[in-house]
Copies of this chain bind each other. A is one copy, B any other.
Amino acid sequence: MKALRLTSTSGSKPSLSLSTLPKPSPPPGSVLVKIRAAGINPSDVINAKGGFPYTTFPRTPGRDYAGVVVEGPEEFLGKEVYGTSGKVLSFTTDGTHAEYCVISCDGINLKPSSLSFVQAAAVGVPFTTAALTVRRAMIQSTDRVLILGASGAVGSAACQLARNKACQVLRAARRGSVDVNLTTDPELSTVKSLTEGKGVDVVIDTTGSPALMRAALRILALRGRLVYISAPKEGSTDFTFDMKQLYREEKMIIGCNSLLQTLPEAAKELGGLTPGFEDGSLQAPNESDIETTRIEDAVNVYQMKGNLGNSKKIVISF
């Protein structure tokens, strides 16, 4: 089968190439999924650059997928499934950027019939990461929620999840039609006027910018919670805040990392979102907003995404 492959010798940065590997056989308790579509996430690109110290090599990358079960227990055979990975697929077992992938039975979910394979392969990491932030922020229906990086994949999923909890949601991004334009208002001053001076109860920061996080702490209301999912990719990752202000106003700073989840935990998180995709209360990206690539061109796509930063969602389609 065709598969992307990361190789690394004696601790050097890994090298990504298109390889031909034997089709794997699923051990008991697992299924073999014929991959129909597999999303490329920022964490895949970081992994291909050697950014995760726990990745073992050689390794097929890829955390998200949608496909059909072609081997394994009879109850699963022929089923259309989709899924995502926490800390397993693409790090310590082979991932989804291949024609076939072995997944343990407790790591799969039935694909929502409302989503195409390409759409279903685009939602795993973004929506489960967004669900993680919403859960860890302990969001209530009365909360005002500010999403930093709202036009990104995780940010836009978080907007949907917070709105579905009946929260008032403010979207912040560098450009586009948003409530807070981060290019012209990096201090988030707009938030005060948009909330009648009260500030927001929750900030979900998907950007990892210390300057934005400092501004976000300031515009948090009493007992506000700031959750975040990344740190600066280069330079210092130090963050400084005023201890006195944070405790007097009972604020919280909360780290979120979807890469800590086991495969069953990630499947459970995604399974919790499946009814939303089915009934339309959660919207996957439209096909027209997803760019597809053949696996033969995927090495170039990895290279491009690494250089361009936030580009259109790209899914490998078979």
Q: A interface vs B, CB < 8 Å?
A: 136, 208, 210, 213, 222-223, 228-232, 237-257, 259-260
Known: A250-B257, A252-B253. A237 touches B228 (CB 8 A): no
- Give the docked Cα–Cα distance between A259 and B244 (Å): 13
CA distance A253 to B248 in the complex (A): 13
Q: In whole angstroms, how far apart are the Cα atoms of A247 and B257 in the complex?
A: 6
Nearest-neighbor residue (CB-CB) of A209 within chain B: B243
User: A247 contacts which of B222, B228, B242, B250 (Cβ < 8 Å)?
Assistant: B228
Indicate if the CB atoms of B239 and A232 lie closer than 8 Å.
no
Q: Is the interface of A mostly helix, strand, loop or mixed?
A: mixed
Residue of B nearest to A138 (CB): B138
Report the Cα distance A249→B256, complex, angstroms. 8
Q: Are B239 and A241 in contact (CB under 8 A)?
A: yes
Give Cα distance in the complex from A241 to B213, angstroms: 13
Determine whether the beta carbon of A260 is less than 8 Å from that of B250: yes
Q: Across the interface, do B240 and A249 meet the contact criterion of CB distance under 8 Å? A: no
User: How far is the CB of A88 from the nearest CB of chain B, in Å?
Assistant: 16
Of A230, A248, A255, A260, most B-chain CB atoms within 10 Å: A255
Contact of A252 among B240, B247, B252, B259 (CB under 8 A): B252
Q: Which one of B228, B240, B245 lies within 8 Å of A240 (CB-CB)?
A: B240
Question: Cβ of A245: which chain B residues have Cβ within 8 Å of it?
Answer: 237
- Which residues on B sit within 8 Å (CB–CB) of A242? 231, 237-239
In the complex, A242→B240 CA distance in Å? 9
Chain B residues lying within 8 Å of A250, measured Cβ to Cβ, are 136, 254-257, 260
Which residue of B222, B232, B244, B259 contacts A243 across the interface (Cβ within 8 Å)? B232
- CB contacts (< 8 Å) of A237 on chain B: these are 242-245
- Chain B residues contacting A232 (CB-CB under 8 Å) are 243
Q: Are B239 and A240 in contact (CB under 8 A)?
A: yes
C-alpha spacing A176/B259, complex, angstroms: 42
Are A230 and B255 neighbours in the complex by a CB distance under 8 Å? no
